[in-house]
Every structure is written in structure tokens, then in C-alpha cells.
Amino acid sequence: MKTTLSLIAILIISGLSLGFSEPGIITGTVKDNKGIPLSGVSVSTDNPKKTVLTDMNGYYSIRVNANTGRVIFSLQGYITISKKIKNRNVIDVIMHKEVKSPAEIAEQEQTLSDRSGIIRPGVPAVHKKAEAAYMIAGRASNNLPGRYNYNYNTEGYSTIHENGFRSVMNNPLSTFSIDVDRASYSNIRRFINHGQKPPVDAVRIEEMINYFNYDYHEPVNEHPFAVYTEVSECPWQEGHYLMHVGLKGKSIEKDKLPPSNLVFLLDVSGSMNSPNKLPLLKSAFRMLVNELRESDRVSIVVYAGAAGVVLEPTPGDKKKDILQAVDRLSAGGSTAGGQGLKLAYKLAFENFIEEGNNRIILATDGDFNVGVSSNAEMERLIEKKRDEGVYITALGFGMGNYKDDKMEIIADKGNGNYSYIDNIQEARKTLVNEFGSTMFTIAKDVKFQIEFNPARIKSYRLIGYENRLLNDEDFNDDTKDAGEIGAGHSVTALYELIPADSNKEPVSIDPLKYQEEREKVDGPLSRELLTIKLRYKKPGSNSSDLMEIAVRQKVKKFAGSSQDLRFSAAVVEFGMLLRSSGHKGTSCFDSVISIARNSKGNDAEGYRGEFIRLVKTAKELGLEYDTGQVKD
């Protein structure tokens, strides 16, 4: 009897042991000591070694087993936390900022980070070319010291000179290329969530505005997009108007989109060895792979000390093969970005699909330092391949050595768009929720030209788009490159206007000597505020179509304007505060929060709510004013 009971006990204990060895899930949220969710927190386990990142709501989910003893939470600028799992499946964490003495801060700025950037691949490739590519990256990494500087900031941004007011009598035309990039918003979110003020040139207000969706109607005529306009009083400058202009691209159902020939060009150099770089990149591309169809084709090129093909062209329904290639990626080596670009273009043209979407998707921290490195060289290469039918989309990752200026050039010159991925939620937004607009172009070289009526408007200021301005004569020149719009994509621009009857004179120009001042129109035309003209080319065409709309709207009270106009105004105010703009007027964080709260609307995905939380964080950090600047 005793022997039988002993056997039963052994079986029970064995069963329990087997049960505990099965993998489980630990979930939770990470917040700071003020209760604000922290995104981009690295959540890792000791055994097995695994890392995930928190989303924009501070949420995480990580798989563990019986051998996993601890979960470690780390984020730059915060004290690292290690939690024992015990028998818990929910672990919520509150993180506190590191408090450093001036001496420690100075020492940190002088010293390179002591982290190793080498992770040697240990899993054999599916085929010989893939194995060779991994070995090339591994050999290159062996020749480099495994040290990368994550603390010394070498990020690169193009200089922005903020637009000022222009006189309608002397400059009646405002001409610019549309911009569908949205990288600036998620990038500045990264800075603020890490307790830092973004560099002024990282704040591109037009990209902040266009990060959010607006309720524009679908086009109903022969043009592939519809135009929306609204004018109200300006909330930050009494006596001024605010004009909201929206462009809505035609939506296309996923199963009706043309087939894609995609080349993933992935940076696996040593600088990508960080939780918010290669691990996040791999998670992002897993999402994208799940969106692919049987008619799509995918190739993968990686580059480190050299470039190599790790996946030959593969049908989109062979998801297991594609995902295995993504999962095997590891970081190490220098950055042969130019060589990788050339190899990716070679694959794209070898598998070119007529009437299809032929596109390279580049994912990197932008730190090209071997091969094609100068901006001018990259521009010439990308423009040439663009004209031959292969576009390029750029996805940015990471911090510290991030090269925003190069990423922007690549996307602008390659007829693609540019996004910055700071967390897994952003990856889902870009590659899943906005799959069609990110990947499929419905109109290219789209140009705006607005003619203002001097009988109604004295002067105007285009908010943002500083690096998208065109000469007036470029509007009718079909050889001039401009922006692209994707399926279902929307583009928004805002103008600050001074009415013709205003006593303000923000622009001072001496009277002309050799010609008389232009006469103002009267009669029916005098009731028009302005005329909007658009030029665009259909994909595959080299000649443009013209679209023209006269605007005769009444100026609304700001409180009576649409939720979209008011929310976009809140975003503009936030951008002006971060830039310490000379045009910010009465803008303040409290005003931004109030306007955004009252215009939040449905907000099904939570992006507007997250914006409000971000502004609150910026206010608490005191990011409205530059260091040493006296408050107004």
C-alpha cells in the first residue's frame, strides 16, 4: 500500500513538474512615478534570453517557462528594475528616473558606452546564399571592437528655417510639394518619453499634423483624391484666420491592390544591437509579413560589414519561410549601406512586376558609413532607380546615432514615405493599419499651388513644409519631382492668414520702383478667399493632370469649427512650443491640452488620447522653453 502511494505521489509531482515546464505568458504595464505609461521600455527575461518592448500604453506581454526566474525592465534615463516571477502571471512596474550628479553626467558624456554590439549567428540558413550572407556579416564583425556609443548623441537632422508671413500683393502664390511622411511625430514622442526636449530641427510640424487621421470624404469624381477646406478664427493670434486644407486619396480594398515585388533591405550592423533597434525591427516585419498575399513576392537583403541575400524571391503566402529568415537576423559589423542599396535594387529589377508595386523597404538607424555615404551620391542613385520604376520606403529605428536627415532624403527622392518606429504600436500603425497608404502609390509628383485674393487676404504663412517648398514656376514643370500619395492616404496643410482689413503689417516691403502696385479684383471674384490648384501624375504617366477649386467659405468661430480643424490646431501649437517659434502667439501647453481634449472625437485607435498624454508629459518636463530662455 505504501509503495502504491509513493508511486502515485511521484506521478503527481512529475505531472506538476511537466506542467510548470510548459511556457506561459507574463503581462503587465509599466508607468513612471506619476502614473504616465512608458513606451519603449525593454522587458527581458534571463532564461531564455528574450526581449520585448512596451507599447504606447506601457503594456507588454512576454513568454516565459519554468527556468525563467526574473523579468528585467530597463529604459534609458530610468533606474533598471528586476522582478522575480515566482507564481505570478501579471507584473506591473513603476519606474523612477535616474538622479545623477553633475559630475556623473559630465563623465557619462565623455565616456563611450561599454556595450558589446556583436551577436554571432548560430542558426544555419535555409540555403547557401543566406548562410554565406550571415557568415560575411559575422566575419566583418570579428574585425571590429564590440563597442558602440549609445550615450554620445550623433543624431543628424536637416536645418529648418521656419516659414514667415508673405504679402499677397507681392507674393500671391504659395507652391509646395505634398508630404506624407510622419516620422517627426513618433521621433519627438521618443525624446519626450525619455525626458528630453527634441532638437528643434527634429520638429517638422507638417509631419506632426499628418500623423493623425481626419474625417475626409472619399473622392467622387475622375480625380484620385478629394480636397477639403475650412477656415476659422486663429486660436493663438487674435485677428488672424486659420485655414485647414485636406487631401484624401482614394481607398482601395486590400484584395484589389496590385501585386507587390518587395525587397526588405535590413540593417544588421553592430549599431543595430539594441532592444529598440533590431529586436523591434524583427517584430515590425513579422507584422508586415502577415499582411502579404500569394500574389506578392518578397526578397530579403541584409548588410553589415558587407551585403548579402538571405531570402530569394518568395511568394507572400510562404510566410513560414519568410518569418524564419527574419527570425535569424542578428547584429554585428560595420555598415555597408551603399552596397546593400545596390544589391536590393538589383533584386528588385530582376523580379520587376509590370503594373505592380516594385518597392524596397529599408529598415535602419540611418547610420551609413561604408560605401555610398554622401547625401549627393544617395540622391543620384535613388533618383535614377525611381525613374526606372522602383520606389523606396524608409523605416527608422533607434536613438543616439540616428540619421534622420539621410532617411528623409532616401524616402523623398525614392517616391516613398518615411516613418520612425519607436515602439511596437507604431509598427502596427505603419505596416498593418496603414498598409495600403504605406505601400501603394495612387498619384505621384503631387503639387499644391494656392493663389490668395488680395481683396480678402493681406498676408499668409504656410505652417511647416519648409523643406517641401517649390518655386512658383515648378508647378507647371512636369520634370520637377514632388510628393506621392498612397491608397487611402490623407494629407493636411494649415495656413495662418491675416485678413485684408487688418491693421497689422507683419511684412514690410518698400514700394516697387519700376512697376505699379497690382489692382485688387472686384465683382463676384472678390468674394473668393483663394483658389487651390493641384497637379499630379497617375502612376506610370509622365504628364500631369490639373485640378482647380475656388474657395468661398465664411470664417467660422474657432469654437464652432470642426473637430478636425481644432485638433490639427492643437498639434500646430504643440509644434510651435517645441520649436520656441516666434509665431506661437498666446500658445501654451494648457491651451493645447484643452483644445485637444475638446476635439478628441471618436479616437478608435487612441492616437489623439496619446497625444494629450504626451503634451502633459512635455508640460511637466518644462519643455516649452529653451534652457536659459526667459518665459514670456
Q: Which domain holds residue 29?
A: 20-99
Residue 105 belongs to a domain: no
Burial of 346 from C-beta contacts in 10 A (0-12 / 13-18 / 19+) = middle
SS (H, E, C) 46-69: CCCCEEEECCCCCEEEEEECCCCC
Residue 501 belongs to a domain: yes
Listed residues 403, 436, 469: the one ending a domain: 436
Predicted pLDDT of residue 373 = 55
| Cα torsion 85, 87, 91, 97: sign | negative
Amino acid letter, residue 516: E
Predicted pLDDT of residue 335 = 63
Look at phi and psi of residue 12 and say left if phi exceeds 0, alpha if psi is from -120 to 50, else beta: alpha
> Grid coordinates representing 293?
498575399
Residue 55 belongs to a domain: yes
Predicted pLDDT of residue 247 = 94
Q: What is the CATH number of the domain that holds 82?
A: 2.60.40.1120
Q: Judge contact between 513 and 253, C-beta under 8 A.
A: no
Predicted pLDDT of residue 130 = 45
Per-residue pLDDT reduced to its tens digit, 4-50: 444 444 444 444 433 333 458 888 999 888 888 887 788 888 777 77
Q: Are residues 303 and 231 in the same domain?
A: no
- Residue 78 bridge partners (DSSP): 97
Q: Which residues of 58-92 are buried (b: 16+ CB within 10 A; e: fewer)?
A: bebebebeeebeebebbbbebeebebebeeeeebe
Per-residue pLDDT reduced to its tens digit, 391-412: 999 999 988 888 888 888 888 8
Listed residues 64, 99, 134: the one ending a domain: 99
Per-residue pLDDT reduced to its tens digit, 37-84: 887 788 888 777 777 778 767 888 888 887 888 899 988 778 999 998
Predicted pLDDT of residue 133 = 47
Q: Are residues 424 and 449 in the same domain?
A: no
Q: Are residues 481 and 568 in the same domain?
A: yes
Q: What is the CATH number of the domain that holds 170?
A: 2.60.40.1230
Q: Are residues 408 and 447 in the same domain?
A: no
Q: Are residues 461 and 576 in the same domain?
A: yes
Q: Are residues 412 and 310 in the same domain?
A: yes
Point out the residues of the chain with pLDDT beneath 50: 2-22, 104-152, 370, 626-632
Q: Are residues 397 and 470 in the same domain?
A: no
Listed residues 83, 99, 115: the one ending a domain: 99
Residue 631 belongs to a domain: no
CA distance 502 to 275: 54
Q: Are residues 246 and 262 in the same domain?
A: no
Q: Are residues 89 and 197 in the same domain?
A: no
Q: Pairing relation of β-strands 307-315 and 297-303?
A: antiparallel
Predicted pLDDT of residue 23 = 53
Distant-in-sequence, close-in-space partners of 238: CB < 8 Å, separation ≥ 6 = 586
CA distance 581 to 252: 39
Instruction: Give the total number of structural domains in the chain.
Output: 3
Residue 537 belongs to a domain: yes
Q: Are residues 310 and 421 in the same domain?
A: yes
Q: Are residues 283 and 364 in the same domain?
A: yes
C-alpha angle 443-242-229 in degrees, rounded to nearest 5: 40
Predicted pLDDT of residue 25 = 84
Residue 42: phi, psi to the nearest 5? Answer: -80, 120
Residue 626 belongs to a domain: no
> Grid coordinates representing 73?
525592465
Say which residue the cell 565623455 belongs to: 110
Q: Are residues 410 and 428 in the same domain?
A: yes
Q: What is the CATH number of the domain that holds 342?
A: 3.40.50.410
Residue 126 belongs to a domain: no
What angle separates helix 589-598 from helix 607-621, to the nearest 10 degrees? 160
> Grid coordinates representing 522?
472686384
Could you tell me where the beta strands, DSSP code E, fall in 440-538? Answer: 441-452, 457-463, 483-486, 490-499, 530-537
Residue 225 belongs to a domain: yes
Provide the CA 2 distance to its chain's centre, in angstroms. Answer: 68
